[in-house]
Amino acid sequence: MVILPDLKGRVVIINSDMRGRLAMTPWTQFVAALFLATMVSIGLLAVDDIINRSFVENYLFINLLLAWVPLGLAFWLQKCLQRKLWSSWEGLILSALWLIFLPNTFYMISDFIHLVEVNSQQLLYSAVMFTSFIYTGVLLGFSSLYIIHQEFRKRFSVRSTTIAIGLILLSCSFAIYIGRDLRWNTWDIATDPAGLIFEISTRLLHPSQYPQVLSVITPFFVLLASMYMVAQRGMTLLKLDKG
């Protein structure tokens, strides 16, 4: 038995009789491919752990698991919006949770900095392993963003939707700075919200005292925006070809 979401975000239970007919839908194929990419990444990490007898890079595994959360929340929100308004409590809570966890997917790009800790003999293998994890994580992030993007397009103008997506990617870029440079994580929102708000407000109120903020946020925003634009245009072309 296989459980996968369908094109409308609903859960589809596929048994042996239904597998040939339902498992070939484009979205289930894509989710299955993401799962396969995740397994490849974990396999590369397992081999690295066995060869080096070290588990210091297992944070990649945790980060990739967290990267699946926004996609699950996006499906849940999509299903919620089929029967409730976005302004409902369920819609607002799911949206907030999605926005909180989304930066984890793009934060993985910054994990490349750990390659400096790898010895030269293992560098090439580690580069492949890191790329596998990061590529999969970013794909998960863009997939969940695309789902929310489509929900925006059903309700708002093209201009408003573009601005909203831009602000989401900007907030993710800022969250990457908070996580990588200030060493805050997602759970600190619940465990130490006062400290987190203080750190953020200080940098927003006195940006000239923290020039590194822009030096981190700007390139990440440009990178994420350009990558998502290409991915979104690609999805549009695929839809046109299918039509």
Cα gap 101→68, rounded to integer Å? 9
Supply the pLDDT for residue 241. 56
Supply the pLDDT for residue 219. 96
Supply the pLDDT for residue 28. 84
Task: Provide the pLDDT confidence category of residue 5 given band limits of 50, 70 and 90.
Answer: low
Amino acid, res. 46: A
pTM listed for this prediction: 0.84
Supply the pLDDT for residue 232. 87
- Tokens 């089929």 appear where? 82
For the chain, give the mean pLDDT.
Answer: 86
Going by C-alpha positions, the residue among 57, 41, 179, 183 that lies closest to residue 118 is 57
Supply the pLDDT for residue 24. 61
With a cut of 60, say whether residue 234 has pLDDT above it.
Answer: yes
- For residue range 158-170, list pLDDT tens digits in order: 999 999 999 999 9
Supply the pLDDT for residue 163. 95
Orientation of helix 123-155 relative to helix 59-80, angle to 10°: 10
Own/partner pairs, 226-229, CB within 8 angstroms, 24+ separation: 227/138, 227/142, 228/142, 228/145, 228/165, 228/169
Mean pLDDT of 1-11: 52
With a cut of 70, say whether residue 107 has pLDDT above it.
Answer: yes
- Cα R_g (the chain), whole angstroms: 19
Cα gap 218→223, rounded to integer Å? 9
